[in-house]
Amino acid sequence: MHKDELLELHEQMVAIMNYFRDVETVDESLFDPYDGLDVTPDDVHKSKSEHKHAVFVLGNALATAMSEDEFSDAGRISKRMQELADDAEQRL
């Protein structure tokens, strides 16, 4: 994936996150790990690796927000996103 495509994906995922932040039943602290990264889609000067890591961290939070439990489809996606985020973080 090219960096511009990754930035577009990142931007779309942030839009989804903002939707979930408005839903009262979703724990907003789910997004704290992503917020702590200080990498937004507007940070075009950040490396592709940093954006990739942010996408995986955000993907984990979004999947968790959608999951009913760890064994649901979204729960399994959340687990896989966490594995990918950990791998991407090691490569930073």
CATH number of the domain at 37, please.
1.20.1270.110
Q: What is the pTM of this model?
A: 0.78
Residues of the chain by 3-state class (helix, strand, coil), percent to 5 = 75, 0, 25
| Cα dihedral 62→41→91→29 (10° resolution) | -40
* Domain of residue 40, residue span: 3-90
Q: List pLDDT tens digits, range 11-38.
A: 999 999 999 888 878 888 999 999 999 9
pLDDT, average across residues 85-91: 88
Contacts within 8 Å (CB) and 24+ apart, 26-31? 26/65, 27/65, 30/61, 30/64, 30/65, 31/58, 31/61
Q: List pLDDT tens digits, range 44-85.
A: 999 999 999 999 999 999 988 887 655 567 767 888 888 888
User: What is residue 73's predicted lDDT score, i.e. its pLDDT?
Assistant: 73
| Region at 38 (left for phi over 0; alpha for psi -120 to 50; beta for the rest) | left
Q: Look at the chain and report how many structural domains it folds into.
A: 1
